[in-house]
Amino acid sequence: MHNSYEAPQRLGVDRWLALIAANQIAQTHCLVVSMGTAITMDALIKDNNARASFIGGTIMPGMRMMQDALSHHTADLSFTHGGFTQGDLQKFPKNTQDAIFSGCINSVIGAIQLQWQRLKNVAQTPPALLLSGGDADLLVKNLSGDLLSYVNIVDNLVLRGLMRLERLERDSA
């Protein structure tokens, strides 16, 4: 797999391992989204010979980090429970808990939709959307529209990548 990162040594090992696993799992181009403390969205392109290239990705705060920022840096919004607002996604929230939750989940969904569309434009075909991490189920629960048909939740993507890397190194020895 080719790494197009400007400074490959600066790419987090967790992201690289997730991409290794995604390359094995996805039969086509894919957007690999890890939903944890931070949310990473990494694009993997496959050529006609199924050779993969990591073409880049984004990093943004995770749901809890976004909510913590609001809770700690604004007045009168510090009513979260365990650092996570217990709200519901609403089109037009009518209470602060739902407003915070809806704003945060909407920003995540919007960012994923944008990166997925960008990858689709580059690949000229709809890419797979691989989700992993602690908040993957939360995202899918609130995701709607066309993207749902491309979603595949993959538990332990980083560990799967580590196992794949170990097998590759063992087989080449």
Residue boundaries of the structural domains of the chain? 2-172
CA–CA dist 106, 2 (Å, integer): 32
Q: How confident is the model at residue 78 (pLDDT cuts 50, 70, 90)?
A: low
Confidence check: pLDDT of 75 > 90: no
Closest C-alpha to 115, from 44, 173, 50: 44
Please name every residue paired with 58 in a beta bridge, in sequence order, or none if there are none: 41
Chain-wide mean pLDDT for the chain? 91
Q: Decide which of 15 and 168 is more confident.
A: 15
Fold of 2-172: Nucleotidyltransferase; domain 5 (3.30.420)
Residue 170 corresponds to which amino acid? Answer: R
User: Which residue in the list 14, 88, 146, 171 is annotated as catalytic?
Assistant: 14
Q: Decide which of 139 and 82 is more confident.
A: 139
14 is catalytic: yes
* pLDDT value of residue 50: 86
Confidence check: pLDDT of 83 > 60: no
Ranking 55-69, 70-84, 92-106, 107-121 by mean pLDDT, the lowest is 70-84
Q: How confident is the model at residue 82 (pLDDT cuts 50, 70, 90)?
A: low
Residue 73 corresponds to which amino acid? Answer: H
CA–CA dist 64, 76 (Å, integer): 17
Write down the pTM of the prediction. 0.92
User: What is residue 60's three-state secondary structure?
Assistant: strand
Yes or no: say if 100 and 87 are a contact pair by the CB < 8 Å rule: yes
Q: How confident is the model at residue 79 (pLDDT cuts 50, 70, 90)?
A: low
